A and B are shown apart, each in its own frame.
Chain A
Amino acid sequence: MFGRDSGLSLDQAPPLQIPLRFFVTAPIFGIVAGLFILAFVPSLAARSSLEVITLTHFFTIGFLAMVMIGAMFQMLPVVAGARFKYQNILAPLIHSLLSGGLIVFAYGIYTYTSIAMIVAMVLMAFAFLMFIFSTLSALIKAKNVTPTIKAFIFSLLSLFIAILLAMHITISHATTDISTSHQALLNAHILFSLMGWVGMLIIGVSFQVVPMFYVAESYPEFYKKHAVKVIFISMLGLAFGLINDNYQLYLLFKIFISLVFIDYGVTTVSRLITRKRKISDTTIHYWYLAMSMLIVALLLSLANEYFNNYLLNTVAAIIFIYGFAMSIITGMLYKVVPFLTWFHLTNQGYMNMPTMNDLIGKKLTTIQFYLHVVSLASLIGLVFINDLQVVAGVVVFLSNAFILYNLIKGSKLYFTKQGLEKMNF
């Protein structure tokens, strides 16, 4: 029944290098984003300007997707008792295709060069599709389909749709053949990327890590059972409304999706407030910031159905990407990277090592947290005030450089372990 080929083994944690290469690359693209703002982004007001599109993808693919893919390599054994086949080849391949593809993409979009756009699309689509299919094929083999696994599956399906839409959009740009439904497909791409892939993955991860890191009460069973289904079906309905120009349908499903996400935000905050483990650290601040920014972003986006001001939409997107998703991901990295370093070193028998808390140190993560808040504020400011270009560029650069420094500090012991005294169990 549970034979050798059942794929079930409880210890298949990948070598540290596998997730870490993705984790460390994320703030590097954050640094690039800061430099890009300094050089090329005088304002964020025009959402469809080439520099804003380029910048957005530094954050969404370079930072968010990068960490989320790396984390999947780590999480799969724990949540599904399975791991990626050929992970030692797959991880570096996906990582380099994605990093290389993103750089070509940035060049292609910013200079509006067709051939570069197509090359970038092929590289990144290849990376994402390999990731999607290898993850899905591991997930569907899971014996016990938990709410987290369900959320991952829907998140990956959303990513798949987002990638297909991205391919269509890129090809229309490259061939300058922009159809009348272009704007609707673009909005559907944003929807499936942000609410679908990013949002549902974070929800699925929260189901596991909120109880795990903070010894908090589990999310309500009803929510765990139905939330992602409702989101996914509503996204399909919303996209249908967009493409068929049916505003009522669009609005109805938008409200549905927003309510499910707001419910998630409120529930998470209440779980964290009533958590049993009272110790507070930077990651908790990041969670509170992320959840409040999620709620603000959704309320702004809903309010904009009434105000109809395109700047408001841009602000909502910045708050969702930089305020919600990047915050929660950075917070989790501060838990996960020192833990994995500790885990792998003690696994190898190094017992006499600093404690997990000493690996990065609270002071450094706290400073970085405040830099993150300032950089979020400056990005929002850049929607309205052109003079903020230098400030925004510098603080985004500094904040991400600090993340990079903290992650390297948190993990370098693993690579310089000669100094540690080796003891046997």
Chain B
Amino acid sequence: MSISQFMSKHHRECDDVYVKAEGLVSEQKWEEASDAFTQAYDDFMLHFNREESTLFPAFEDKTGMTNGPTQMMRSEHMRMKATLEDLKMALQEKDKDKFLGHSEAFMIFVQQHNMKEEQMLYAMMDNVFDTESEELLKEIA
């Protein structure tokens, strides 16, 4: 499996858990929603961590691009983390409209971010990493 395939698959997994939480919020099933959201939250953090601690530094070392796409992705992660906190708070307050309102922007932002990673950054990673791919995958799995 390539880095691109592995990470893209994890994007879908994050989506799945997250939309489940969102659906439960819209039905106001707060307890189940809270569990699903916690799982989604952890999945997102795991994903960010895989990139920020392992893949991005390796990419930067290999290409010398420290101010390029990886930096941009990091700053997008920051914004997603901030919105995740808004969502968490709305969930705690059991405020359906607020949650779904934040969720709308969050979902588009996440999908747009994923698209940039999958169509550009991961594709570049598959190109620049040769033998390292396997090791990197082991490290993040």
Contact = CB atoms under 8 A, between A and B. Distances in A.
Interface of A: 1-2, 8-11, 78-79, 81, 143-144, 146, 208, 211-213, 215, 276-279, 335, 338-339, 342-343, 346-347, 351, 354-358, 425
Nearest to A81: B120
Contacts of A146: 119
Sort A-B residue pairs by CB-CB distance and give the 10 closest, nearest first.
Answer: A355-B101, A212-B111, A357-B101, A356-B105, A10-B72, A356-B104, A11-B72, A342-B105, A276-B19, A10-B69
Contacts of A356: 101-102, 104-105
A369 B112 CA distance: 26
B89 to A, nearest CB: 12
Contacts of B128: 1
B105 A343 contact: yes
A78 B116 contact: yes
Contacts, number: 98
B111 A278 contact: no
25 contacts: A1-B128, A2-B68, A2-B124, A8-B68, A9-B68, A10-B120, A11-B76, A143-B124, A212-B108, A213-B111, A215-B15, A215-B111, A278-B19, A278-B26, A279-B23, A339-B105, A339-B108, A343-B105, A343-B109, A346-B82, A355-B97, A355-B102, A355-B105, A356-B102, A356-B105
> Range of interface residues on chain B?
35 or more
A276 B15 contact: yes
Contact of B23 (A278, A343, A351): A278
A314 to B, nearest CB: 38
A277 to B, nearest CB: 5
A358 B105 contact: no
Interface in B35-85: 63, 65, 68-69, 72-73, 75-76, 78-79, 82
Nearest to A347: B79
Given A1-B128, A2-B65, A213-B108, A279 B123 contact: no
A355 B103 CA distance: 9
B23 to A, nearest CB: 5
Nearest to A357: B101
Max chain A CB contacts within 10 Å: which of B97, B98, B119, B124?
Answer: B119
